[in-house]
Amino acid sequence: MTSSEDDQPMFEDIHVIQKVLSKTERQFQRACDQVVLLNGRLRACSVRYKRAKSTNTRSMRYPLRLRLAVVEGIRNMFYEYATKKAREVEAFRHQLAQVYYTELYSLNM
C-alpha cells in the first residue's frame, strides 16, 4: 500500500478497494441525506423567521436568527464533508478500474 498525491491510500487488493469504496459510498450517502434534512430545517426556520418579522415579533426574531445561523453552518459542514467523500469515492473507483485493467491486461499476456 502506497500513498498518492491526494493522501489517498493505494490498495493492491481488489477486495480491500471494494470494501473501502463501499464504506465511503455509505458515508457519502448519509452525508447527502443529512444535507437534504438540514435544507428542510433551514426552510422551515426561515419561514418562521419571516413570519415573526412580518408580525414584528422581536422576541422570536433573535432566537430564530441564531437558529438559522447554526443550522446553515451545520449544513455547510455536512456539504463540505459530502464533497470530500465524493472525491474519495471517485478516487477509489478510478483505483479499482486501474486494478481491474492491470489484472485483465496481465491475464491476456
Which cell numbers in the block locate residue 43?
A: 426552510
* Burial tier of 3 (Cβ tally within 10 Å: 0-12, 13-18, 19+): exposed
What's the pLDDT at 65?
A: 96
- Those residues of the chain that have pLDDT short of 70 are 1-12, 107-109
Please, what is the end-to-end C-alpha distance for the chain in angstroms? Answer: 25
Looking at the domain assignment, is residue 7 inside a domain?
no
Structural domains of the chain, count: 1
- Classify residue 88: in a domain, yes or no: yes
Closest CA to 81 of 5, 19, 30, 17: 30
Owning domain of residue 87: 18-108
Residue 11 included in any domain: no
pTM for the predicted model, two decimal places: 0.79
